[in-house]
Structure 1
Amino acid sequence: MASESAWSKPAAMALPREGYFEPKRGRYGPIYPRTPACYGFSIIAKVKEGREDAVRAYGKQIEQTIAASPQALAPLKLHYLRWNLFDIGSGLHFQYMGIFDTDFDKYTEDAIKLFSATGITTVFTNLEGFPEDWKTNPEAFITFVRDHHCPSFLEYGEYPYVTADEIKKALRLKDAFSDMLDQMQ
């Protein structure tokens, strides 16, 4: 009998306030650890005055981009994104939560390359303090993200440490088996 795979048991990881146990230096600062939910970060930043409609329109633009080209964001190796707008009394704020398969440095570099190559901008341009030169100045982009990052203190994975590509492969295999069984009837 084969041993039980790591993905077969849900896992949770409590993280210290800093977001990592032992600092490991990446190209742009500490590398946050891979958790049962893979990699990710959360940003909370104030929305520029009068930019709520632009933020919401950008969400619609992403929806349309993915409808037209489902692989448009594939280089980012995303599992999911979640965006929220909320007012905490000092004005409208934006929250970005993303989970992906690469470390922070690689994700950020890939995002800048993707947006630069496609001409698509980032929703972050609607946030206070976001650098105007973000496409040519990755360090400024990264500084903004790190300054607005709120590290998780708990991350949970129902299927821990599984990449998006592995999930898609398993689902393709499931479909192939279903098709094969259908053919046998």
Structure 2
Amino acid sequence: MAIPKSDESWEKGKYGPIWPKTPANYGFTIIARVKPGRADAIRGYGAKLAKALESDPSLLAPLKLHYLRWVLFDDDTRFMYQGIFDTDFDKYTEDAVALFKKAGVDTVFENLEDFPEDWKTNPDAFVRFVRAHQCPSFLEYGEYPYVSTDEIKKALELKSAFSRMLEQMQ
């Protein structure tokens, strides 16, 4: 799907224009400057998140994520966050802020220049940061277009159950 530039014709949500749902679903990419000396903290946060997911694989489930990609580049001076998820931007933002507040954890974004210190109590400031650093895509492709994470999980469960049934028949 080719994605046109945002203009006044786009539907407005609570936090600004709503990007259209694409074959890859909803998502956003931000690129921001890393606070000096914080690249290792970002890597450490990634390791901490991976460990938390090992002990609780459903930790990020409320976000309905298909995937996340974090990249440090330009000699660790810039950070790219890319996420694809099932909900629109407004819902994702509110769910993410609520999840981090409930879990009592910080966000990797705190290691980025200009990130608001009051993000947990001020979702509007979080949104302004994301919008200011967003790099909208202009083309997206999905091999399984418009399929939600719940549908994918159900299909995999069905496949597994069907495989077990066939094995029992042999």
TM class by shorter chain equals over 0.9
Taking only the aligned residue pairs, the percentage that are identical comes to: 66
Gapped regions of structure 2 (runs ≥ 5) = none
The letter for the 2-side match of 1:179 is R
Among residues 134, 143, 152, which one is paired with 1:158 in the alignment?
Answer: 143
TM-superposition CA deviations, 1:49-83 (whole Å, max 9, x none): 00000000000011001000000000000000001
The CA deviation at 1:127 is 0.2
Superposed CA RMSD in Å reads 1.3
Among residues 125, 150, 156, which one is paired with 1:140 in the alignment?
Answer: 125
Are 1:60 and 2:47 matched, yes or no?
Answer: yes
Are 1:72 and 2:59 matched, yes or no?
Answer: yes
Are 1:39 and 2:26 matched, yes or no?
Answer: yes
Gapped regions of structure 1 (runs ≥ 5) = 1-12
Q: Which position in structure 1 is the counterpart of 2:11?
A: 24
Among residues 94, 109, 112, which one is paired with 2:94 in the alignment?
Answer: 109
Are 1:83 and 2:86 matched, yes or no?
Answer: no
TM-score by length of 1: 0.89
State the 4+ residue runs in structure 1 displaced beyond 2 angstroms: none
Whether the 8 Å contact between 1:15 and 1:21 is mirrored in structure 2 is no
Q: Which position in structure 2 is the counterpart of 1:9?
A: none
The letter for the 1-side match of 2:62 is P
Taking the aligned partners of 1:21 and 1:103, their CA distance within structure 2 comes to: 18
What SS class does the counterpart of residue 97 from structure 2 fall into? Answer: helix
Q: 1:47 to 1:56 in 2, by over 3 A?
A: same
Whether the 8 Å contact between 1:86 and 1:92 is mirrored in structure 2 is yes
Taking the aligned partners of 2:32 and 2:85, their CA distance within structure 1 comes to: 21
What SS class does the counterpart of residue 145 from structure 1 fall into? Answer: helix
Give 1 or 2: higher strand fraction. Answer: 1
Are 1:14 and 2:11 matched, yes or no?
Answer: no
The letter for the 2-side match of 1:100 is F
The letter for the 1-side match of 2:2 is A
What SS class does the counterpart of residue 157 from structure 1 fall into? Answer: coil
The letter for the 1-side match of 2:74 is D
The letter for the 1-side match of 2:51 is Q
Taking the aligned partners of 2:45 and 2:9, their CA distance within structure 1 comes to: 37
The CA deviation at 1:120 is 1.4
Taking the aligned partners of 1:22 and 1:98, their CA distance within structure 2 comes to: 25
What SS class does the counterpart of residue 115 from structure 2 fall into? Answer: coil
